[in-house]
Amino acid sequence: MSLLISVKEADFTFIREKTNSTAGNLSVQVQKLKDAGYIEVNKQFKDNYPLTTCKITPQGVDAFDAYVKALQGYLNMGK
């Protein structure tokens, strides 16, 4: 999510390389985020090769913001 929030959209290979994930693990995570409505997934072919792109949704941005605020609150509890 933190990667997708900083770009307009990203293809599966880019996300896999940047997160150092396996294809299988990333596929599961992408599906979970899609099911939650946090990302949109577009599957197409480019030059006869499959191309999967992911894009964060407004709901995903809101959820990520809430997550960051919750973490900040937790970290600031002891101050």
Q: What is the DSSP string of 11-26?
A: EHHHHHHHHT--HHHH
In tens, the pLDDT along 38-63 reads 999 999 998 988 999 999 999 999 99
Q: How far apart (Å, rounded) are the C-alpha atoms in residues 24 and 1?
A: 17
Give the position of tokens 């693990």. 25
Hey, which bits of the chain come out as E strands? 10-11, 39-46, 49-56
Fold classified for 4-76: Arc Repressor Mutant, subunit A (1.10.10)
pLDDT at 66 over 80: yes
- Determine the Cα–Cα distance for residues 57 and 61; give it in Å rounded to an integer: 6
The percent of residues above 90 in pLDDT, for the chain, comes to 87
Strands 39-46 and 10-11: unpaired
pTM summary value: 0.85
How is the chain split into domains, by residue range? 4-76
Q: Residue 77's pLDDT is what? A: 85
